[in-house]
Amino acid sequence: EAGVAQSPRYKIIEKRQSVAFWCNPISGHATLYWYQQILGQGPKLLIQFQNNGVVDDSQLPKDRFSAERLKGVDSTLKIQPAKLEDSAVYLCASSSARRDGYEQYFGPGTRLTVT
């Protein structure tokens, strides 16, 4: 079974530029999560989708971050415009309660550096 795919793996941009990340979850997983992991900290949930609907986006900085999951499969996370403090690893995860309880499967992440 293929894992969670993310691209790109690395991205370097200047502040005020825009950037987008892509995630393809494990086939059949209804729930998709985007996390921000700042160096030395645990992952922080940005947004959670159930199929193509948003379940929780309470910690998403909506003035600059947006995410969508059209058709309930893959998802994109966008930052526009980026700030220095957005430098982090952005993790995508998916889960299927029906098969695995609450276990989340993580992708390799996208490391963003904002200069």
Residues that bind other proteins (CB under 8 A): 31, 33, 40-45, 48, 50, 55-56, 58, 91, 93, 97, 101-109
CB 25, min distance to other proteins, A: 13
Which is nearer to other proteins, 1 or 102 (by Cβ)? 102
Q: Which is nearer to other proteins, 18 or 38 (CB)?
A: 38
> Is the CB of residue 51 less than 8 Å from the CB of residue 72?
yes
Q: Considering the complex, state which of residue 24 and residue 104 has its C-beta at the smaller distance from other proteins.
A: 104
Could you tell me if 3 and 105 are in contact, meaning their C-beta atoms sit under 8 angstroms apart? yes
